[in-house]
Structures are given as structure tokens and as C-alpha cells.
A and B are shown apart, each in its own frame.
Chain A
Amino acid sequence: MFSADKFQEALEIVVSQFPLALWETVYVTLIATLFATVIGLPLGVLLVTGKKDGIRPLPNWFNRFIDLFINVLRSIPFLIVMILVFPLTRVIVGTTVGTVASIVPLVIASFPFIARLVESSLKEVDPNIIEMAQSIGATPFQIVAKVMLPEAFPSLLQNLTIATTTILGYSAMSGIIGGGGLGKIAINYGYYRYKYLIMLLAVIVLVLLVQIFQSIGSFIATKSDKRLK
């Protein structure tokens, strides 16, 4: 299927371009996950604590608004998000193309997802334990910081790992708008120039990367869970 000179060519590209692309993919993914978590975590907390029977109920219209806002953002396909946030990207980064610019749509597309994951993690915390915290006179903020987040930590970590691998997948797509990384190599060589072997290799590296992220995340999450010992 692939001739020897195709292998030779692929090998050269792997050696010359893969290290940088790998690095770009990793740092775009991690930075996007970080920012998305910074926005998504508090939002997820609000989703739980702001409920009518939560520890700090918020006005009903406000809850509905966040809920709708998150659902709307989550239903837009990532490809469209990338184009829709161009104005925002230009304001923040100064340009709409390039590796750094691809972080903005990644954050916008993934923070609502993270908010939902955080919501589901926090919902798992035993309501009796929250009641206990109220009985010792904890403020809503203390309940979140000292009880809910620590109790949900392994589950949060597990969910954030899922988020990271999803963002990794999105970041590969951002090759279309000029974002760097393995995705760009796969699209440029595979789609535009019919060099399937290089695309295949890029995909294999992406798969390995997801495997590594997932394994590390699951390992730490399991290791940190004190319920299992």
C-alpha cells in the first residue's frame, strides 16, 4: 500500500515536524483545559448550590438563564464555535489564526461542558454530609471549599480527565483555522495533500496521547480516593 519512498518521506516529516506539533497539541490542550476549568468550575458550583434546595439558592430566573446559556453553547458544533468567536479571539489574542488563537474557541466550547461535569460530580456528594456542615455553622462558601470540593475531588479529577481528552480532540480540529499541532499535520498532509500515511501517523500519536492523559488522570483519581482503601 505504501511504497518505500513514501515511508522515507513520512519518516522525515515525523522527525522534522512531529515534536513541535506534539508540543503544540499538549500545551494548547492543557492551557485550554485550565482556562475552561477556571470558568467552568465556579459555574458548575453555582449550578448545584444555586438550586432551590441548594445551600445558597439563587433567583429562579437566574438559574434558568445559566442553564439555557450552557445548553445553547453546548449544542453549537465546535467547527461553528471556532468561526463564531472570531471577534472575541481578535480582541483577546489580536489575531484569529495560529496556535494561540485556537485556545479561545477551545475554552468557549469546553467550559460549559466542564460546568456540567462539575455539576454532576458535586451532586454525588452525600446531602447528609452537607447537612452536617450546616449543623456546625459553616457558611455556604465554607461548605463548597471545605466539604463539597474535597469530597468530590476524585470524581472531579476523573471528569476533568474526560474533559481534557475531549479538548484534545477539539484541538485537533482547530487545525482548520490555522491552529498548530498534530491536527494541523493530519489535515494538511492527509486532507489537502493526500499523504495518508502521515495522517495515519498523526492520528496514532493523538490516540496515544489520549491514552496517556486518560491513564494518568484515572490513576491519580483512583489513588486519591480514600473511600477505596
Chain B
Amino acid sequence: MIQINNLSKIYNNEVEAIKDISLTIAEGDIYGIIGLSGAGKSTLVRCINLLEKPTGGTIEIDGVDLTGLSEKQLREKRKEISMIFQNFNLLNQKNCLNNVCLPLLIAGMNKKKAEKRALELLEIVGIKDKATAYPSQLSGGQKQRVAIARALATSPRVLLCDEATSALDPTTTAAILQLLKDINQKFNITIIIITHQMSVVESICRRVAILDDGMVAEKGEVSSVFSNPQSAAARRLVFPEGYDDKLITADEDVRFIRVVFDGDIATSKPLVASMAVEVNVVASIVYASTKSIGGKTYGSLLLSVKNDEKTVKKALDYFTRNEVSAKEVFLNV
């Protein structure tokens, strides 16, 4: 549904914020775009609705290339692409009802009809009772709910979330994410979530793209990317506690194997110990972690074994026999 082709944005002819990004986002999907600060996430999301004019590449929504539209056509198109923000961006001088009315009035709806629709939307997001309250009287979570109601007003097909939960506490974040999930299912709105929080992507996204230094480092199903990250950028995000390749000595004597397994296997069999007994390969654990992704628990181990072709093969075969995914990884290369 959304097709981003070779998108790039260069500021002032020198700063390359994003480089050659290509993504395909399916209708009704919840797509996460994750990266550290300065990775180009905000630029990318602003290029999707052309708040930032890309310097190269195209953005197609249902086959229509947005970069080829006139200002007027673009304004019409933007009514199908709503956006919510980290700081909510509500009008401080208007109450919640009028904040939600804004896009409707801008689209030319009369005041009375707009207010009726706004009330329905406030009900959907669960804060109808705050209709006459002003933003300064609301909590962060409530403000974001108003912003979501406003974003839904024009019945958009796409919802862009720019760090929408970054200013919220964990409990509120969970509630807002649940709301986004409900909206995605109820209205079949494609949601694109920009975030630096792993937990956000893990809890609601189906697919993810990892952005690093303005480029897509890795993309795919959340479960596969997060359980078995291939790129250095992905590993930094998935193992933020210090899975730093540089800390692990590139010793001539050892080779590394990454093992990824789901929780059931991890608890039912002492894999590493059994490997020593069954195939006579001793391995040391260099790194280990567990992650919960989409309700399933994944464990990840980085093992080092003797630098010997036969040993590595024996170990890999052993894991394959036990239905655990294992792969040799080359660090510091």
C-alpha cells in the first residue's frame, strides 16, 4: 500500500539525513521504524507525508506518487495520512472537543456536524467526559488520546506515529499502544510507528525496519529481526545492555555461534551442557539474554567454541537436531 523507493533527504546540500531508503508497507499493517537518536527516523516519517520534501526517490500510496502532486492535491492527500506526535501538539487555547473538530472544520465540515463527529471520536478513544476540558488540564496519556481522536477525524487510511509514546510513562504507553492496536483492527488503518523504544515495537508491530545512520540496516518480521539480528545496528538495539562487538576479543582461537531459541526449549533441556556430553563440544557463553516478543519469549546466546571447522559443524548440527536456530557469526569483520 505504501511504497517508499530510494528515498533520500539532504539538508542544505550537505547533511544526509536519510539515504536511499526503500520500504514496502502492506495495508492494515503495523510497521515499526526504530533507530537511535539521529538515525533519521523523524525525517523519514516527515517525508512520508511530505512535511519534509525528499531530495530523491518517491513515495507511493496506493500507486499515487506523492512527490509528483501539487500543493493542493497534497493537502487533500494529507487528510488520508494522519499523524500523532511526541508532544501531542494540541491547540492549548481550545478544548478537547474543538481540538478534535479542527481537521473537520479545515476539511470544510460545518461546526455542528463536526462537533457531533468529534464527540463520537472522543468516545472511541475513551475520554468523552473530557470534551470541555483544556489540554493543560489533562495528563499526557489523555492528551495523546485527544490527539489520536483528532488524527482519526478525517477517516485516514494511514496513521503516522512520531515517537507517540516517548513522553509517556510505561503504564500509559501500554494503554496507548493497546488503543492503537484496537484502532488498527477496528478501522483497518495502516499504522507506522517511529520510535527508539524496543518495547513499543515488540508489543504491537508486525514488521520492523531498523534505521541506522540514515539507512535501513535491517527489516523484516519483528520476531525474526529481534530474535536473530543480523546487522550491528540491530544488535545494538536488541541488546542495549552492552552487546558490543568490540568488547569481545577477536581471538584467533575461537569462533562464535549465535543460538536463538524460544522459551519452551530453553527451560526443558540444558542445551549447552548437553552439547558437551552428547557431541563433545565445549562452549563458553559470551552473551545471553531473553526477550519477550509478541507474547513469546525468545532467548539468545552467543557461544564461543574452538576455532576448528569440525567443532563448529558439530555444534551447528547439534542445535539443528534440537530444532534450535544456530548460526555462525563473524564478529569484528
| A positions within 8 Å CB-CB of B | 126, 128-129, 131-139, 142, 146-147, 150-151, 153-154, 224-229
- List the B residue with the shortest CB-CB distance to A140: B71
Contact A131 B103 (CB under 8 A): no
Contact A139 B136 (CB under 8 A): no
Contact B89 A136 (CB under 8 A): no
Contact A146 B85 (CB under 8 A): no
Given A142-B106, A229-B137: A137 and B75 within 8 A (CB)? yes
**Contact of B91 (CB < 8 Å), options: A134, A147, A228:** A147
**Contact of A134 (CB < 8 Å), options: B51, B76, B85:** B51
- List the A residue with the shortest CB-CB distance to B89: A132
Given A128-B87, A136-B106, A137-B103: A150 and B94 within 8 A (CB)? yes
What are 9 A-B pairs at a CB distance below 8 A? A129-B89, A136-B79, A137-B75, A137-B106, A147-B102, A151-B92, A151-B93, A226-B136, A227-B93
**B 60-104 binary contact with A (CB < 8 Å = 1; else 0):** 000000000000000111110111010101111111000000110
Residues of B within 8 A of A128 (CB): 85, 87, 89
Residues of A within 8 A of B85 (CB): 128, 132
In the bound assembly, the distance between CA atoms of A133 and B78 in angstroms comes to: 10
**Contact of A136 (CB < 8 Å), options: B87, B94, B95, B102:** B102
Shortest A162–chain B CB gap in Å is 20
Give residues of chain B (124-179) contacting chain A, Cβ–Cβ below 8 Å: 134-137, 150, 154
Shortest B215–chain A CB gap in Å is 25
In the bound assembly, the distance between CA atoms of A129 and B137 in angstroms comes to: 18
Given A151-B92, A226-B92: A137 and B87 within 8 A (CB)? no
In the bound assembly, the distance between CA atoms of A225 and B134 in angstroms comes to: 10
Does B273 make an interface contact (CB < 8 A)? no
Residues of A within 8 A of B95 (CB): 226
**Contact of A228 (CB < 8 Å), options: B81, B87, B136, B154:** B136
Shortest B172–chain A CB gap in Å is 20
Shortest B98–chain A CB gap in Å is 9
| B positions within 8 Å CB-CB of A | 49, 51, 75-79, 81-83, 85, 87, 89-95, 102-103, 105-107, 134-137, 150, 154
Shortest A28–chain B CB gap in Å is 32
Residues of B within 8 A of A153 (CB): 93
Residues of B within 8 A of A136 (CB): 78-79, 82-83, 102-103, 106, 150, 154
Shortest A124–chain B CB gap in Å is 11
- List the B residue with the shortest CB-CB distance to A131: B51
Shortest A147–chain B CB gap in Å is 7
Contact A151 B83 (CB under 8 A): no
In the bound assembly, the distance between CA atoms of A177 and B274 in angstroms comes to: 105
In the bound assembly, the distance between CA atoms of A137 and B102 in angstroms comes to: 11
In the bound assembly, the distance between CA atoms of A138 and B82 in angstroms comes to: 12
- List the A residue with the shortest CB-CB distance to B71: A139
- List the B residue with the shortest CB-CB distance to A136: B103
Contacts beyond the supplied A135-B82, A146-B102: 10 A-B pairs with Cβ under 8 Å: A129-B90, A134-B78, A135-B51, A137-B78, A137-B103, A138-B75, A150-B91, A153-B93, A226-B134, A229-B134
Residues of B within 8 A of A229 (CB): 134, 136-137
Residues of A within 8 A of B106 (CB): 133, 136-139, 142, 146
In the bound assembly, the distance between CA atoms of A146 and B82 in angstroms comes to: 18
In the bound assembly, the distance between CA atoms of A128 and B167 in angstroms comes to: 15
Shortest A49–chain B CB gap in Å is 15
- List the B residue with the shortest CB-CB distance to A142: B106
In the bound assembly, the distance between CA atoms of A202 and B77 in angstroms comes to: 62
- List the B residue with the shortest CB-CB distance to A149: B93
In the bound assembly, the distance between CA atoms of A154 and B136 in angstroms comes to: 15
In the bound assembly, the distance between CA atoms of A226 and B103 in angstroms comes to: 20
- List the B residue with the shortest CB-CB distance to A129: B89
Contact A129 B93 (CB under 8 A): no
In the bound assembly, the distance between CA atoms of A63 and B75 in angstroms comes to: 26
Given A151-B93, A226-B93, A226-B134: A137 and B107 within 8 A (CB)? yes
Contact A135 B93 (CB under 8 A): no
Contact B75 A154 (CB under 8 A): no
Residues of A within 8 A of B76 (CB): 137
Which 3 residue pairs of A and B lie closest in terms of their CB atoms, listed nearest first? Answer: A137-B78, A132-B89, A137-B75
Shortest B183–chain A CB gap in Å is 17
In the bound assembly, the distance between CA atoms of A69 and B102 in angstroms comes to: 36
Given A136-B154, A137-B75, A146-B106: A154 and B93 within 8 A (CB)? yes
Q: Which of B92, B95, B134 gathers the greatest number of chain A CB atoms within 10 Å?
A: B92
Given A137-B76, A229-B136: A131 and B93 within 8 A (CB)? no
In the bound assembly, the distance between CA atoms of A139 and B73 in angstroms comes to: 11
In the bound assembly, the distance between CA atoms of A146 and B91 in angstroms comes to: 10
- List the A residue with the shortest CB-CB distance to B160: A135
Contact B91 A151 (CB under 8 A): yes
**Contact of A146 (CB < 8 Å), options: B77, B87, B105, B137:** B105
Residues of A within 8 A of B102 (CB): 133, 136, 146-147
**Contact of A227 (CB < 8 Å), options: B51, B81, B136, B150:** B136
- List the A residue with the shortest CB-CB distance to B105: A146
